[in-house]
Amino acid sequence: MNLYLNDLQTEVLIRELGNIIQSDRYPLSPRIVTLREILGQLRAEPERQPLPPDGITSRRAGGGIGDAVKAIAKFRMDLSQ
């Protein structure tokens, strides 16, 4: 089934669904999950900007847990000498 709504009708429906979802006591109930799916279909998805090739992701890749473990081990070796 397809609905053809004008902009005002769409805005009102989005607002009302949002209010129903926010005020419900049981956010994980099947009813609310279904309403969230409907709301997701009504909202226009924003355009996503592509990630830069040398952006934040490459800087984060070098600072993982393994690097911290190596730094602690080196610090302990320096203390023991």
Residue 25 forms part of a structural domain: yes
Q: Confirm if 43 and 14 have CB atoms less than 8 A apart.
A: yes
Total-model pTM: 0.53
Residue 5 forms part of a structural domain: yes
Structural domain total, the chain: 1
Mean pLDDT of 47-70: 65
Please write the tens of the pLDDT for every residue from 4-40.
Answer: 999 999 999 999 999 999 999 999 999 999 999 999 9
Residue 30 forms part of a structural domain: yes
Domain, as residue range, for 18: 1-45
Residue 3 confidence (pLDDT): 84
Residue 54 forms part of a structural domain: no
| Nearest one of 30, 21, 23 to 13, comparing CA atoms | 21
Residue 39 forms part of a structural domain: yes
Residue 47 confidence (pLDDT): 77
Residue 40 forms part of a structural domain: yes
Q: How confident is the model at residue 70 (pLDDT cuts 50, 70, 90)?
A: confident
Residue 29 forms part of a structural domain: yes
Encoded tokens for 3: 């609905």
